[in-house]
């Protein structure tokens, strides 16, 4: 059983079938994009909403995609890539009892615990939808995503960027794809109106994005960088 809620870069899915952390990761990567990550408190609310209202499940613990960096026991990484930048640990966590608690779950209040990965619990996955069967202009892509999914994706963190790049590679995409980035009044904004706090423009390359004349729509390259392009070009695109 899978329930869902829309996030920034994709859709959060709550999978009620209990699995250990590694099997949950494998399941998410096969049927979705990856185990869920959490960028901020809003993401916490969204993953919990994905399981809200399902009182019959009576869940109180579920896996998220956070694990201890094998090369540095004091750092935590997301399954989809990138180090944690926001944390929501429960009281006295992480405590790494017996030095074997290398994976993380969330309780039904959104608080995190470090635990052994062998336990079987429900889990949260995230899914980015790749629209690679018909190229569209940026406006057409926006309209399609809003009608058939939720919106063009926003990329608010390094983990978001890496997950989107992963989906491009899985789908053998070699050309830039539209994302929900648009220049309005000389400012790059996401389609939800948020400013671009996290940025992934190429360093030392084409800087036309700083003051775009006609290339006012954003796309993600297979290298995981942003590029600005003519909005009338037809491209594949990523929906959430």
Taking only the tens place, the pLDDT of each residue in 63-87 is 999 999 999 989 999 999 999 999 9
> What pLDDT shows up at residue 1?
45
Contact in structure between 151 and 240 (CB atoms under 8 Å):
yes
Confidence category of residue 58, pLDDT binned at 50, 70, 90: low
> What pLDDT shows up at residue 4?
44
Strand partners, 152: 239
> What pLDDT shows up at residue 212?
67
* Residue 47 exposure: Cα atoms within 13 Å on the Cβ side: 30
Give the residue with greater pLDDT, 232 vs 148.
232
Query: What's the mean per-residue pLDDT of the chain?
Result: 89
**pLDDT for 7 beyond 90:** no
Give the residue with greater pLDDT, 26 vs 205.
26
Superfamily of domain 128-239: Mannose-Binding Protein A, subunit A (3.10.100.10)
Which residues make Cβ contacts (< 8 Å) with residue 53, sequence separation at least 6? none
What are phi and psi for residue 11, nearest 5 degrees?
-105, 130
Task: Note the Cα 197 to chain centre separation in Å.
Answer: 16
75-128 tens-digit pLDDT = 999 999 999 999 999 999 999 888 889 999 999 999 999 999 999 999 999 999
> What pLDDT shows up at residue 196?
80
Alpha-carbon distance 75 to 68, whole Å?
6
Q: CB 147: neighbour CB atoms within 10 A?
A: 8
> What pLDDT shows up at residue 197?
86
Q: Among all chains, which residue has been given the structure tokens 């990567």?
A: 29
Domain residue spans in the chain?
2-126, 128-239
> What pLDDT shows up at residue 233?
97
**pLDDT for 154 beyond 50:** yes
Contact in structure between 96 and 114 (CB atoms under 8 Å):
yes
The C-alpha angle 120, 125, 126, rounded to 5 degrees, equals: 170
Q: CB 34: neighbour CB atoms within 10 A?
A: 23
Helices (H), the chain: 21-31, 41-50, 138-148, 158-170
CA dihedral 222, 227, 229, 233 (to 10 degrees): 10
Alpha-carbon distance 206 to 45, whole Å?
38
* CATH class name, domain 2-126: alpha beta
Alpha-carbon distance 160 to 237, whole Å?
15
12-56 tens-digit pLDDT = 999 999 999 999 999 999 999 999 999 989 889 888 888 875 555
Indicate the length of the chain as a whole number.
240
Alpha-carbon distance 205 to 156, whole Å?
22
Q: Among all chains, which residue has been given the structure tokens 């989906």?
A: 167
């Amino acid at each position: 059983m899978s329930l869902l809620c829309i996030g920034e870069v994709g859709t959060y899915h709550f999978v009620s079938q209990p699995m250990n952390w590694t099997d949950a990761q494998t399941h998410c990567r096969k049927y979705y994009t990856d185990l869920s990550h959490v960028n901020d408190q809003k993401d916490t609310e969204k993953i919990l909403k994905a399981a809200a209202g399902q009182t019959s499940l009576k869940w109180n613990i579920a896996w998220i995609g956070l694990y201890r960096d094998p090369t540095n026991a004091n750092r935590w990484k997301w399954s989809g890539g990138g180090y944690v930048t926001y944390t929501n640990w429960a009281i006295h966590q992480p405590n790494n009892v017996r030095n074997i608690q290398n994976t993380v779950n969330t309780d039904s209040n959104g608080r995190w615990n470090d635990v052994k990965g062998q336990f079987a619990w429900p889990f949260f996955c995230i899914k980015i939808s790749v629209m690679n069967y018909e190229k569209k202009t940026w406006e057409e892509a926006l309209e399609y995503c809003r009608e058939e999914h939720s919106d063009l994706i926003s990329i608010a963190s390094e983990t978001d960027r890496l997950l989107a790049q992963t989906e491009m590679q899985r789908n053998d995409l070699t050309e830039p794809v539209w994302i929900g980035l648009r220049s309005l009044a000389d400012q790059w904004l996401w389609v939800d109106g948020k400013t671009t706090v996290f940025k992934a423009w190429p360093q030392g390359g084409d800087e036309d994005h700083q003051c775009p004349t006609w290339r006012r729509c954003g796309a993600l390259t297979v290298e995981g960088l942003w590029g600005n392009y003519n909005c009338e070009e037809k491209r594949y695109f990523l929906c959430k």
